[in-house]
Structures are given as structure tokens and as C-alpha cells.
Structure 1
Amino acid sequence: MAETDNPLKRLFSDFSTDFAIWLLGDQVASVRPTNIALLPSEEEIRADEIFDVTLTDGRILNLHIDFQGIRSHRPMPWRVLDYISRIAETYHRDVCSVVIYVGKGAGSDDKGRHQVKCSDGKVILSWRYRVIHLWKMKAEKLLKLNRPALLALIGQTQVDNPQKVLPQVVKRLRAVPDDEMRGRLFTALLALMNDKEMIDMIERMIARDNLLLDTPYIRRWRDEGFKEGIEEGLEKGMKKGRIEGSVSAHHRDLLDVLRLRFEPSLPVYYEIEEGLSTITNERKLKTLLTTAVQSEDLTAFKNVMDNL
């Protein structure tokens, strides 16, 4: 769950309206994130995602979404009860809670309906929440919903026919008009994909797009370009290949650090990538790597890069 937790949270935050409509229906008019620590409590807790959702009839409710893998430090029903009660106490609104189980077998016994009875057998407390087992869902179901943001979850569903499903997913994501949103969706799709063969299939399909993500396949594709001199059997070519390969590795390390620390938009990412392509001095590249780790923001990094 650790490897999918952050990509899931980022995906649902970036495309909150699409996911709210999926979970609540077409009556959703607008969505606003309101993630806060839930108080009062001796021990602060934080839900994965909480959104203010305005419905078409003007009502405002809180949509709470929690992601859960196979293991949980606390039984999910009690966690959700805690979340629901604190959200209701904080906002004094209607609350809809959804638990999305990720990973085969996760939450297999959870139906989302729970109660506590008194000694006389009467129910004194009951609560419910919606349960979605992504690992039980067929990939075709997400395709039919016709919402690009949901397609990034395909890798967590049952993909029985990758050769048929994945080209459809890539085709629809390519059609997203906004470059930045399209890039985020492709990144989320790959981050939430567990099957290496399917990852390779997707990377091959997007390799020729304008959106060239820094993925393992594309790294291999770039590295192959440095082998031409070696294949010719020329000592000069071999030396050139080694130097260029080293420079390329520095470029990739820099881009990895910048992407992890600052999550730049695609236009900014491409601008930095283009600027780095003109810098081949290893000393300068090592200086930039240190700067990437220590800079407070991208502007500070770009100032150093531009003045090298």
C-alpha cells in the first residue's frame, strides 16, 4: 500500500470532481479539498481525503475517501466510525464516506455496514460507508464510465485482456487536451500499475508521443543512442559513448530529484530538460544535483542553472 498511497492521494486531489461524480452521481456541482487534522482528540488523526462537495440543489456535504491495503494497524470499521463522527462534529454537515481497497484480498470481508448492540439485543449504534474493492473490479467497468481520471486506476483492477484494454486507455488519455493534466494522468497510470509487462506495453505506446515521460523504457531507449560508437568498433566512438552515457545519467538523476521534490508542470519540466541538454560538464552537473537537493523551490534551482 505504501507504494500506491501517495499516487492515489495525488490523483484524487488533482481530479476530485471526476471522482466525486463517480462516487456520488451526477448531482455534483463543485468540489473543494478540505483536508485537515480531525479534532478534538488527544491523538490527532488525518483522513486520506476530505472534500467539500456542493450538489446541484445547493446542499453542501463532506465526502471522505480512505485508501486501504491488505494490512491496517486498526480495523477499518472503527477507523471510519472515528472519521465520520469527527467530520460531522467539525462541519455539522451530511457525510458520505468511501473506503477504496487496494491489493488482492484487501477488505474482502468488509461490506461497509456495522453495528453495536446492547445486552437486550437492540442496536444502539450503526454506521455504514461505501466499499469499493478495486482488485475485484473489471477494467472494462472503468472504461465504460468514460472519465479519463478513472483510467489511471486500471492497473489496480482486473485486466484480463491487456492487449485490448491498454491501447484504449492510452488512446483516451492522449485525447486529454490539457498537457499538464495529460502528463499527470499518464504518470499516475504508470505509478499505480503493478504488472511489469503492462508497464512496458504502456511505455512503448507513449514513447513516440510529445509526452516523453522519464520512464524505464524511455531511459533504455535514450541509452541505446549512446551505443552507436561502440557498435562501430571505433575506440573514439566507445569513448564518446561512455562520456555521453555518464552525462545522460547525471541528467536523469537531476530530473528525478526535481520531479520528486517539486512536481513541476510539464512545460516547466520540458524547459528544464532542454536547458540541461546543453550542459555536459560533469562538474557543473554535480553542482546542479546538489542545488536540486538543497533549493527551496524551482525558481532558485533555475537561477543557478541559468548562471552556470
Structure 2
Amino acid sequence: MAFALDLISLKGLAAIVSIMGPLPALLCLPGAWRRARAGDSIGTTLLIAWFVYGLGSAAIIGVINGALPVNFWTLYSFQISATLDMLLFMRVLGLRTKELHTKVQHANQQLDAMHSLAHTDPLTGLPNRRGMQIELSSALARARHENLLAVYVMDLDGFKPVNDQHGHDVGDELLVAVARRLQCHLRQSDVIARLGGDEFVVMTGELQSTTQAHELGLKLLGAFSSPFALGGIQVQVGLTIGYAIAPIDSQDGAGLIKLADAAMHSGKQSGKFCVRRNTGDLALSSA
């Protein structure tokens, strides 16, 4: 605009363009050099692009000044170098997009890992209390009178003596083995969670009757009739199970857990190794 208004001469315009043209490359050159030395292909590609562009510019200047002969390559050197420069910059954009995509994937993986840590028991790999509450809320939304949901709260019988006699490492092995045995007797769609200590929760849906729910409780109880082989030792623990059914006994997640927990404590007080359902007749104060 200044040139159009005759505020600067052609020589001044040429000087400004000569300075401003390579200025972005010169400003970015140190950063590109550092990236190239670090093995970054983006930095290497930028250096090649600016070298090609500079070579073409030098060639056309040489032709204008008579320092180079006029032929096809020298006459069109600037157009050729500019085309290669643009192609290389397109590659830089592709590399940069890939780099950003990789960073986003890494960030998502970190978020998934943090989410998993927040909702998973680190010992058994099962959902923890928070993870169980999320699963329970989702399952309750599908519970109907023709599609029952049973929630079982279970506590091991005789876990403390195993811990005291063989140590916490064996106790941890036992908890992992308990989780695996429960999984072997449940469907893939069922959910097992560890609330802490030796207390577990099982949620199973799509049950057609309360009898089916009780039969599953007996099946889980029977799975603990045989001992656990842990390394070179065998240990025997039992199970006491309390359960409640949605939507018959309660339609609230916390209410179901309280009912099942009260039933489990009632079973503990009555001799252990049993299955009890709480329809609301068992006191909740024991929970």
C-alpha cells in the first residue's frame, strides 16, 4: 500500500521484501535445528524445505545478475523450489497433525488409567466401592418385576485366621483366588466387586424369579466347600451371603446394599456359611 501511494520507491520495496521474505525462516531456524538434532522429523523437514527454497532463490538471483547461464533449470529454479517447499511444508503439517493425535491418544490413555485406578481394586482387579455403585446404578435402570436384579453381599468365614497364621501375602493371594472362583461360577454379564477387606459384592440381573436368585446364592456358597491351593499350602474358608432383590425389596442402590448387608450380618450371627435374603424383615441396624 505504501508503494502504491508512492511513499516508498521500488528499490525500497525490494529491500523490504528481501528482508521480510526470509525473516520467518530465520526466526524459526534455531528451533528447527534443535528439533532436528533431537531426531524430530519435523525439524529435519523444515530445514530441508528452507534449504530448497533458499537454493531456488539464489539460483534466480544468479540468473538475473548474469552469474548463471539461462536454461530450463535456472530459469524455473524459483518455481521448482517453491513447489518443493510447499510439498515439504504439507509434510510438516501432516507430521504435526500426527504428533498432536499421538498426544491426544496418550492423554486419553492417562485419563483411562486414572479412571481405572479410581474405580478398580488394585489387588483383585475387580471394581471397588465406587465402581460398584456406578455398575449398580446402571443395572437398577433395567430392573423390572419380570427382569429381577439380585445384589449379594458376602463375607469370608475364617479369613482372619489365615492372615494371622500364614501372613498377609498369603491373605492377599487368597483374596485374588476368591475373586477368580466367584467369576468361574457367574455369567460374563454379572458384576463382582470388592468393597474392602474380605467383603465382596455380586450383582446379577435378568433373573426370572426369586427362586432363581436364591439358587444362585446356594451355588456360590457351594463353590466354597473345597479348599484353596495357594502355593504349597491349602486353606479352607467359607462364605456367608446376604442378598436383596430389586425392584421387589428395594429400588434404591444404597437400600439394596443395606438390606443385603444386614442379611449377611444376621447369617454371621446365626452360625455362618449360609445364604439369607432380606426383604426388609431383618434389622438394618446391623449394617
TM-score tier (shorter) = under 0.3
Larger radius of gyration: 2
Specify which structure has the bigger relative contact order, considering alpha-carbon pairs within 8 angstroms and separated by 6 or more residues.
Answer: 2
Q: TM-score, normalised by structure 1?
A: 0.21
Q: TM-score, normalised by structure 2?
A: 0.22
